[in-house]
Amino acid sequence: MAKYIWLPIHREGWPFIALFAIASFLLGLLWTPLGWLGLALTAWCIYFFRNPDRITPIRPGLVVSPADGVVCLVGHAVPPAELGMGSEPRMRVSVFMSVFDVHVNRIPIDGRVTKIAYKPGKFLNASLDKASEDNERMAVRMQTAEGADVAFVQIAGLVARRIKCDLSESQDVRAGERFGLIRFGSRVDVYLPDGVEPMVACGQRCIAGETVLADTQSSEAARQGEIR
């Protein structure tokens, strides 16, 4: 049970946790109820920056979710222009992270990073379609061992004010590896190779590094889903 209770904390979280704890202590000196409120917020901050291990399926061709959250958009869209992937729409799967989800992001598929591009922008609700174009973002293009192009984009949200990406160009990566995070509440888009259909539906909950979004070796049609 210990591994479910004492989860690792991402190193980016410790300064915030310390700040919340100090503020809680000072508020408690002023008025005890404020101290308890601060303690609750400190607990939430610890919870937000949790960084659990994940079991990633390792068969070649599988595209796993880069984020915990809910699939909010599935459909064709043009990849960010700064990645140089052309103007033809590609199948895109968008995963929205609420402030209660794990925010550590993971690589969706084995391959090599070929381009990284940051673009400043707005902080609209990340669940909106136009957030892909208008919001601040960090876009990554990579090539799989089979030569297919895949892109994934970290998009800032309504309350998110920092995108962290630890990748560098020409870096070899594996599916499920941690590569960054976004504070606090956001979205990650995945642009699939041509002809690859998603294996998830809107409204489906994903687990980063575990949920399979697509299979580049499959000819299966796009999956549909319904609430039951």
Q: Tens of pLDDT along 24-53?
A: 999 999 999 999 999 999 998 888 889 999
23: which residues sit within 8 A by CB, 6+ positions away?
38
Tokens linked to 228: 């039951």
| CA-based nearest residue to 80, from 113, 108, 107, 117 | 117
Q: What number of residues does the chain have?
A: 228
In a domain, 116, yes or no: yes
In a domain, 151, yes or no: yes
In the chain, the percentage of residues whose pLDDT exceeds 70 is 95
Write the CATH number for 186: 2.70.70
Shared domain check, 18 and 103: no
144 pLDDT above the threshold of 70: yes
Q: What is the structure's pLDDT at 70? A: 96
Host H or E run for residue 119: strand 111-119
Shared domain check, 75 and 36: no
Shared domain check, 76 and 33: no
Shared domain check, 72 and 11: no
159 pLDDT above the threshold of 70: no
Host H or E run for residue 43: helix 32-48
Shared domain check, 164 and 77: yes
Shared domain check, 127 and 94: yes
Identify any residues that bridge with 198 across adjacent strands, giving them in sequence order: 214
| Residues annotated catalytic, as ranges | 186
Counted domains in the chain: 2
In angstroms, the CA 90 to CA 150 distance is: 10
204: which residues sit within 8 A by CB, 6+ positions away?
70, 71, 225
33 is in which domain, residue-wise? 2-48
185 pLDDT above the threshold of 80: no
- Give the pLDDT band (50/70/90) at residue 157: confident
29: which residues sit within 8 A by CB, 6+ positions away?
35
Tokens linked to 157: 């949200």
In a domain, 224, yes or no: no
**Of 89-103, 118-132, 184-198, which gets the smallest average pLDDT?**
118-132
| CA-based nearest residue to 86, from 191, 168, 170, 216 | 191
In a domain, 75, yes or no: yes
Shared domain check, 80 and 26: no
In angstroms, the CA 201 to CA 182 distance is: 23
Question: Taking the model in full, what pTM does it have?
Answer: 0.89
In a domain, 104, yes or no: yes
Q: What's the whole-number average pLDDT of the chain?
A: 90
- Give the pLDDT band (50/70/90) at residue 5: low
